[in-house]
Structure 1
């Protein structure tokens, strides 16, 4: 049975049936997962940072061949080839552009002039206020419970701060996986929820079965935050590799980062000059040291080792804390339908004033 739709400012803004977003996870959010999410009535976001420009155009066209529903593309605003990627979004008629880092005022204007909905991801109230003033259509707010690069403020504290600070739709991320969470986010004033780990753990996800099995076995205590992968706080499953990284010295970490930078250059098709320019942008945008910028080369290849190659011994597994609460692999359609049915049930049980 198809769950009833729930109209919110998010569903009206992007044209989807349900106020649920699948986040743009590198190596994970490819055409199959994105189109399955879109066909389920939610908003799927294609991850482009781990694709070449040519691969991105092919991936967008594959999603369009699989679904007529709206979807989005996640971009790195500080990437040297960001203008080329924006051109693809505009040319191909992609509905939404999302960003892991705040896009510039000029980039927001260019996308909006082309009819693209702009949704940056933020981790602090001041960042939400900035992009809202620049014309962003909505913001995705990730609390500290979320997977990947994360902050220290919990969703239940960060979300109301942002909702009170901006007048555009706010999407809540970090710690959400079911209908109860959706209702809670709506009660805080959010227009919907975004989920990464929960969509990673679906039958439509292309993540290898052995990796999914590791997630399903994890408890909440098995999800940790480390700075040893790329110098920034990064939430992931604890593993033998993570333990080894945390024991390793600085020289070993930098040497490993250089090897991974070379590997990512080959995979991405970028030149060393382009990677240096991206590093300069990253350093400026996040006020990182050069050693942290170099360590950031670890992330794409360590994630690829697990999410693509299935090597849990050689790769890292970015994860939200909710991994410890997930024990099944539904299809995207089953997951979205379940969440919306749960939300309707929860709403029906709330006392009426």
Structure 2
């Protein structure tokens, strides 16, 4: 099923495995790439040195194209871009809009630039700066999210920009892929669905929590880092929402210290990243500090398997997923479903 996405990136199928911190490591990314999807390595929770090693590990596992996801506002973003260029990575994706200069540097090196956006105006900005494509996530998606549904924001972005658009938020099967293509998208991005595969390194006990969840068990809270964050509702999330300001700040300080050690980030760099996060947003310094809760609370679940101490970012589609296929089985199934769905549409059989 060739689309503008497959032509741009060189993958076989118009499916993207999104970059999820602590989840999208070398094993999952290489499995997704070998299945014909675009695997995206999550780098924000890695040191710069670890990122280079992870890229090389993916390369040792697959000959297929893959990408690396970056935080555009990170103080060491330029160092990470250098690794992408040096190591010949095909795609650079961004959780926030990269600068015009960063886009130009990557494009000069032949790297495909795909920022993630949540609104039409953001897509228009990065398209004007030279981005090759955009991934737009609707409010159904997991992690940091907005409040506009994919079915509303996707056509807005498709109509506003002249570059390929990848639809994310609410996708998990072939029917969704066909629907996204009908809206004008060039493919779909999936996070929760790839997390729930046998190739994912997330502990089995955590995967079982996701599989047991219903659509109503997925909620949005601002108590983790001050920004809307979609995740599974658990006793810990309920406790976070009941906690007062002082307890939240003390917890944030503790987690900021832990993340600094884990990521190799200095306190001055954490402050610089915090300033970048504040730019253009109405956020207190307390909320900026709380952002350190996200990586450490995610690590507790996704790495340590402690669902009682960690949070589990999740799209609403978790309530529709009930199995753990391999990436190859998942991608093959989605493409078969998509072809079957197309045949049922009037005038296409």
TM-score with structure 1 setting the length: 0.98
1:84-163 residue pairs with structure 2 within 5 A?
A: 84-163=79-158
Kindly indicate whether residue 271 of structure 2 is the aligned counterpart of residue 276 of structure 1: yes
Equivalence for 2:219:
224
Equivalence for 1:198:
193
Number of residues of Structure 1 aligned to a counterpart in Structure 2:
348
Which SS does the other structure have where 1:310 is aligned?
A: coil
Equivalence for 1:213:
208
Within the candidate set 287, 295, 302, 1:300 is matched to 295
Deviation at residue 290 of structure 1 after TM alignment: 1.1
1:255-294 residue pairs with structure 2 within 5 A?
A: 255-294=250-289
Within the candidate set 9, 16, 41, 1:14 is matched to 9
Equivalence for 1:241:
236
Structure 2 unaligned regions, length at least 5: none
Equivalence for 2:63:
68
- 1:270-316 per-residue CA deviation (whole Å, 9 max, x = no partner) reads 11011111111111154422111011110000000000000000000
Which SS does the other structure have where 1:74 is aligned?
A: strand
Equivalence for 1:3:
none
Equivalence for 1:169:
164
Structure 1 unaligned regions, length at least 5: 1-5
Kindly indicate whether residue 324 of structure 2 is the aligned counterpart of residue 335 of structure 1: no
Determine the C-alpha separation between the residues in 1 that align with 2:264 and 2:92.
23
Determine the C-alpha separation between the residues in 2 that align with 1:270 and 1:174.
31
Which SS does the other structure have where 1:25 is aligned?
A: coil
Deviation at residue 33 of structure 1 after TM alignment: 0.1
Deviation at residue 235 of structure 1 after TM alignment: 0.2
Determine the C-alpha separation between the residues in 1 that align with 2:309 and 2:303.
12
Which SS does the other structure have where 2:279 is aligned?
A: helix
TM-score with structure 2 setting the length: 0.99
- 1:130-179 per-residue CA deviation (whole Å, 9 max, x = no partner) reads 00000000000000000000000000000000000000000000000000
Determine the C-alpha separation between the residues in 2 that align with 1:287 and 1:182.
36
Which SS does the other structure have where 1:255 is aligned?
A: helix
Determine the C-alpha separation between the residues in 1 that align with 2:41 and 2:167.
18
Deviation at residue 106 of structure 1 after TM alignment: 0.2
Determine the C-alpha separation between the residues in 1 that align with 2:282 and 2:272.
15
Determine the C-alpha separation between the residues in 1 that align with 2:17 and 2:282.
29
Equivalence for 2:39:
44
RMSD: 0.7
Determine the C-alpha separation between the residues in 1 that align with 2:287 and 2:170.
27
Please, which moves more after superposition, 56-65 or 290-299? 290-299
